[in-house]
Each structure stands twice: as C-alpha cells, then as structure tokens.
Amino acid sequence: MRCPHCKGLEDKVVDSRLAEDGLAIRRRRECLACGGRFTTFERSEPAGLRVLKRSGQAEPYDRVKVVGGLIKACKNRPVSEADIELVADEIEEHLREGGRKEVSSAEVGLAILDRLRDVDEVAYIRFASVYRDFQELTDFEKEVGLLLDKRTPPKQLQKD
C-alpha cells in the first residue's frame, strides 16, 4: 500500500479493528519513510457479478458506477457520504441475493430507485428523470404523483 503523503511503500499497522458490522477490517497505518498516518480498509472480494446490458452485452458489476449515480442524484441534498455508501452496500447485497451471477441493468436501476425513495425524495426524482428518460413535464408530474401516493398518510389526531 502506497503512503498517500510521500508515496512510500513501507508502512506498519498501528491499529486494526472490525468495521462495517464485521464485513471489513479497518487498519491504521504509519509510513516508515515520512511518519504520516493513514487508514485502509480490507474487505473480502465477493464472487463476480455480471450486469447484462440492454444491448445484450454483459460486463462486470461496477460499484463505482452505482456510487457515482447516487452522488449525482444526491448532490446538494442532506445525504452524507456514509449514507451513500450504505445505500450502495444494500443495493449490492440485494443484487447478490440467492447467489445470482448475473443481473440486468434494469434490475440495478430499479434497486437504486427503490432505495433512493426511502433516502431522499428529491434525489429519487432526479435519478428517475435520467433513468426513465423523462421527456416532458408530465413525466415529472406522474412520477411525483406516484411518489406521493406511496407515502404513508399522516397520523390523524384523535379527538376525545
């Protein structure tokens, strides 16, 4: 692992602990060349998941693309990086359920939409507008109407 400060290759681990509910190991390292400290994460690499595109071509699942789409949708919204990472984890976990080796790009998009609906409604509409290729204002109106219909109704005040 290269030191992010001086690019040196020699370091020592000064602390290790479980992270992400035991799915990763967080290691605090110290560079032997410059003394700079940095953190690394060690995760197991799951079996390859492939995404079948509309064109029929299959490519490896790319978490970076999912995170990138989430970041764009959540830009200037009250959604933290940690929230985005958690959503990306949940999406990937959902896609890998049952040991599946291949999913369609449509399934990936729908999984993102499903999670964004719960995280931030504005981010959901942003992502939906690109994913579903909105062409007219009525497309937005229809999607907002569906979103409002799925909201849980406010609790009624009980009169005594």
pLDDT at 152: 57
pLDDT in tens, 78-113: 999 999 999 999 999 899 887 888 999 989 999 998
- In sequence order, which ranges of 7-136 are alpha helices (DSSP H)? 63-73, 81-96, 105-119, 121-131
Write out the H or E segment, with its range, that includes residue 139: helix 137-150
> Around Cβ 128, how many Cβ atoms within 10 Å?
23
Average pLDDT, the chain: 86
CB 73 within 8 A of CB 127: yes
List Cα–Cα distances, 115 to 1, 18, 84, 120, in angstroms. Answer: 34, 26, 10, 9
pLDDT at 157: 47
pLDDT in tens, 115-135: 998 898 899 888 888 877 778
pLDDT in tens, 24-47: 899 999 999 999 999 998 887 666
